[in-house]
Chains A and B, each alone.
Chain A
Amino acid sequence: MADNEHNPLHAHDDHGHGVGHIVPIKLLVVVGVVLLILTWITVAATYFDLGDGNIYIALAIAVIKASLVALFFMHLRWDRPFNGFIFVGSIAFVALFIAFALTDSSQYQPDIKEYRITSDLKGGDSVDAQKKLEETAAQLQTDAPSAE
């Protein structure tokens, strides 16, 4: 901010805010190092099998890293709140989209699975997957004449 004080162009509308915030290089380096460490942690974490936990840890670290980049590298910490609002808002819309699309597609997966089984067996001309599977399997065992 000190750098802006001798800027004559800002004299008439400057209420203590210069044009843009200047982030000290030292702070940037610290953030950069933290980001690299977090990258190392996220790779290292994959060598422990935590089941579903792995992806949550990976995502949590990614969110932390992203926040660091946005807050410090992208100056959001000092920027107008509205810019941050746009940023967070756009992510919220992606989340909304993911939530609806994922919920819906997981709801109709059984229809797809059933179709795949029967279509692999019979060109998809069947309704009750299990019944058909059992029938076909039984039929093949009893009916198939020996090849030679």
Chain B
Amino acid sequence: MSAIDTQPQTPVVVDNYLNHTKGVLSWALTLDHKRIGVMYTISVLLSFFLGGMFALLVRTELIAPGEGFLTQDQYNQAFSLHGAIMVFLVIIPSVPAALGNFIMPIMLGAKDVAFPRLNLFSYYLWVFGAIFFVVAMFTGSLDTGWTFYTPYSIDTDSAMSGVIPALTGAFILGFSSIFTGMNFIVTIHRLRPPGMTWFRMPLFLWAIYATALIQVLATPVLGITLLLLIMERAFGIGIFNPALGGDPVLYQHFFWFYSHPAVYIMILPGMGIISELIAVHSHKHICGYKFIAFSSVAIAIFGFLVWGHHMFVSGQSPLLNAIFSAITFSVSIPSAVKMFNWLATLYKGSISLNTPMLYALSFMFIFAIGGLTGLHLGTLATDVHLHDTYFVVAHFHYVMMGSALIAMIGGLHHWWPKITGKMYNENLGRLGCILVFVGFNTTFLPQFVLGSQGMPRRYHDYSNFLPEQVELYATYHMWSSIGSYIMAVGFFLTAGYLIHSLFAGRRAPANPWGGRSLEWQCASPPPYDNFAVTPSVGDCYDFSVLEWDEKEQGYRINEEARRKQAYPGEVADRSGAEKLDGD
């Protein structure tokens, strides 16, 4: 059957990517982007669990002042591993490598990514890097924080022996990220089917494209930074080590040249997911498509110019501080543009308050706070006070965890029927989302006040301060820890019903939400080769061609309406695609 977008799908798909071939090896050696995406998703979620456990250790230690159940060194390891695992193993690969791998080629209408072997290789690099992290965790551990600031990280006496394994792991993970990014850029440039012009791409693809640009251009610098640091630690090359004449501030330039753009590797795909979610679940054309698309690219490019705002009090010269502060504010504009465009999309929509949409709305709430508090930190005068306090901790959790990961989980729910072919329990889904949302804000809102009141980050114990300060900090820390438990309950609930749905979930229709982009035009789960026939492409946010099918409990395309709405490029037109190639 080549009836991809013309006929309602029968929900029973005999041959899909899950059962196309059988056996462990058929998964381990698969070149299918969907299977690789699924393997990434599972791996990333397992790492998320691991990183989350470390977070709970940290929060439990801080619930009250005084020596808790962790020693100073154990606490330092806990937050270092929490940070390193969450950044390198979870958030960076979460959307691009996990969801992106599954969704991106289907959304684009391609059969696979451009380099399937490289894709599998990236995954195994990820696994390999993760193994190094586990080694770092169990042998000697890691206590440098995820930033590996010199000279502490090269100080052989204090920094533990897990540093080199962790650096090696991060180095390898960097290459995994680079290859994924390369693969995606080439896929988007070269594998777009006829009719899929740049401005017909769903915004998720724009976001993935912008992300991939950063991955390719920034991650190599992380590679060389880590390599230099490994050499510094192993041989003493002296470039970053002041005891040998080196310059620790230079290390920070190196580190943040990657790690600031990396923040956008984390948040941009999340924003892309939200653009999809908001439009699909309000059944309304996204507002200001081009503004959103270009704002993704603008964020990617501006993101390279602002790394110095992590170093306002690090000994960076005042001249550079001023320059970096000024450029930093330029990043806030595209973010604001996206925010307002999402709001405008909601206007007069038909807003379904289902789980993915609740995550999307949570994202908007959380990202508004995360973005606006970024203004405090980009401003020179206030950053001097707020830097390295819990204000920063709260801010980047609002952006990296509350926004990037919430978007990832929203996206996971959105595409769950497509990936697994099963529907999860909607009510439990909503409950899970609300628990996560409440827990998240209970955890991190108090941390803003903690930070502005002077509580420094990475403190194992806060009983050394003046008594009235300790009292104040204790209250907020307690709330923060309680919030983290609520959030943990929410995540466990989510994991529970998602796993349950695999076995007992209702069979998913091809298009449960009424999405218009191409992935909703193939069956759930998708067949092995995505599309038997290269699909034809319309406006991916034009929902007017969809209609509700009561029998399927899903949406289907109304052929008549589609013909009426047909665009010039709707018909397969190879030469048109070449011309609109854009490069």
> Is B550 part of the contact surface with A, judged by Cβ < 8 Å?
no
Known: A13-B574, A108-B315. A101 touches B250 (CB 8 A): yes
> Is A15 part of the contact surface with B, judged by Cβ < 8 Å?
yes
Pair B304/A108 contact, Cβ less than 8 Å: no
Contact with A along B244-262 (1 / 0, CB 8 A): 0001011001100100000
Tell me the minimal C-beta distance from A82 to chain B in angstroms: 3
B217, B305, B319, B583: the one contacting A103 at CB < 8 Å is: B319
Pair B319/A107 contact, Cβ less than 8 Å: yes
Complex: A13 Cα to B108 Cα, angstroms: 21
A81, A90, A104: the one contacting B316 at CB < 8 Å is: A104
**Which of A13, A81, A100, A104 is most buried by chain B, counting CB atoms within 10 A of its CB?**
A104
Complex: A85 Cα to B189 Cα, angstroms: 14
**A90 contact set on B, CB distance < 8 A:** 217
**B221 contact set on A, CB distance < 8 A:** 97
> Is B320 part of the contact surface with A, judged by Cβ < 8 Å?
yes
Complex: A111 Cα to B249 Cα, angstroms: 12
**Within residues 195 to 235 of chain B, which ones have a CB less than 8 A from any CB in chain A?**
217, 221
B247, B250, B305, B574: the one contacting A96 at CB < 8 Å is: B305
Pair A105/B583 contact, Cβ less than 8 Å: no
Complex: A89 Cα to B300 Cα, angstroms: 14
Pair B304/A105 contact, Cβ less than 8 Å: no
> Is B578 part of the contact surface with A, judged by Cβ < 8 Å?
yes
Complex: A103 Cα to B575 Cα, angstroms: 49
Complex: A81 Cα to B583 Cα, angstroms: 7
**A108 contact set on B, CB distance < 8 A:** 249, 315-317
**Within residues 81 to 116 of chain A, which ones have a CB less than 8 A from any CB in chain B?**
81-82, 85, 89-90, 93, 96-97, 100-101, 103-105, 107-108, 111-112
**Which of A90, A107, A111 is most buried by chain B, counting CB atoms within 10 A of its CB?**
A107
Complex: A104 Cα to B323 Cα, angstroms: 11
> Is A26 part of the contact surface with B, judged by Cβ < 8 Å?
no
> Is B269 part of the contact surface with A, judged by Cβ < 8 Å?
no
Known: A100-B253, A104-B253, A105-B250. A93 touches B320 (CB 8 A): no
Tell me the minimal C-beta distance from B106 to chain A in angstroms: 24
> Is B308 part of the contact surface with A, judged by Cβ < 8 Å?
yes
Pair A80/B578 contact, Cβ less than 8 Å: no
**B217 contact set on A, CB distance < 8 A:** 89-90, 93
Complex: A107 Cα to B254 Cα, angstroms: 17
Complex: A103 Cα to B319 Cα, angstroms: 9
Tell me the minimal C-beta distance from A132 to chain B in angstroms: 20
**B575 contact set on A, CB distance < 8 A:** 15
**Which of B221, B253, B574 is most buried by chain A, counting CB atoms within 10 A of its CB?**
B253
**A97 contact set on B, CB distance < 8 A:** 221, 253, 257
**A89 contact set on B, CB distance < 8 A:** 217
Complex: A80 Cα to B250 Cα, angstroms: 37
B574 — nearest CB in chain A belongs to which residue? A13
B247, B308, B574: the one contacting A105 at CB < 8 Å is: B247
**A82 contact set on B, CB distance < 8 A:** 189, 583
Known: A82-B583, A90-B217, A108-B249. A100 touches B320 (CB 8 A): yes
**A107 contact set on B, CB distance < 8 A:** 317-320
Pair B304/A96 contact, Cβ less than 8 Å: yes
**B578 contact set on A, CB distance < 8 A:** 13, 15
Complex: A89 Cα to B189 Cα, angstroms: 17
**A101 contact set on B, CB distance < 8 A:** 250, 253-254
**B250 contact set on A, CB distance < 8 A:** 101, 105
**Which of B189, B250, B320 is most buried by chain A, counting CB atoms within 10 A of its CB?**
B320
**A100 contact set on B, CB distance < 8 A:** 253, 308, 320, 323
**B316 contact set on A, CB distance < 8 A:** 104, 108
Known: A81-B583, A82-B189, A93-B217. A105 touches B305 (CB 8 A): no
Complex: A104 Cα to B307 Cα, angstroms: 13
Pair B308/A80 contact, Cβ less than 8 Å: no
**Within residues 25 to 45 of chain A, which ones have a CB less than 8 A from any CB in chain B?**
none
**A112 contact set on B, CB distance < 8 A:** 247
Pair A80/B583 contact, Cβ less than 8 Å: yes
A89 — nearest CB in chain B belongs to which residue? B217
**A80 contact set on B, CB distance < 8 A:** 583
B318 — nearest CB in chain A belongs to which residue? A107
Complex: A131 Cα to B316 Cα, angstroms: 26
Tell me the minimal C-beta distance from A9 to chain B in angstroms: 15
Pair A104/B574 contact, Cβ less than 8 Å: no
**B323 contact set on A, CB distance < 8 A:** 100
**Which of A93, A97, A107, A112 is most buried by chain B, counting CB atoms within 10 A of its CB?**
A93
**Within residues 464 to 497 of chain B, which ones have a CB less than 8 A from any CB in chain A?**
none
Complex: A104 Cα to B315 Cα, angstroms: 10
Pair A104/B317 contact, Cβ less than 8 Å: yes
Pair A104/B304 contact, Cβ less than 8 Å: no
A108 — nearest CB in chain B belongs to which residue? B317
**Within residues 272 to 323 of chain B, which ones have a CB less than 8 A from any CB in chain A?**
304-305, 308, 315-320, 323
A116 — nearest CB in chain B belongs to which residue? B245
Pair A103/B304 contact, Cβ less than 8 Å: no
Name 27 interchain pairs, CB-CB below 8 A, sorted by A: A13-B574, A15-B578, A80-B583, A81-B583, A82-B189, A82-B583, A89-B217, A93-B217, A96-B304, A96-B305, A97-B221, A100-B253, A100-B320, A100-B323, A101-B250, A101-B253, A103-B317, A103-B319, A103-B320, A104-B249, A104-B317, A105-B250, A107-B318, A107-B319, A107-B320, A108-B317, A111-B315
Residues of B within 8 A of A (CB): 189, 217, 221, 247, 249-250, 253-254, 257, 304-305, 308, 315-320, 323, 574-575, 578, 583
The 7 closest A-B pairs by CB, nearest first: A107-B317, A82-B583, A104-B320, A101-B253, A104-B317, A108-B317, A93-B217
- Given contacts A101-B253, A104-B253, could you give 10 more A-B pairs where the C-beta distance is less than 8 Å? A13-B574, A13-B578, A85-B583, A93-B217, A96-B305, A104-B249, A105-B247, A105-B250, A107-B317, A107-B319
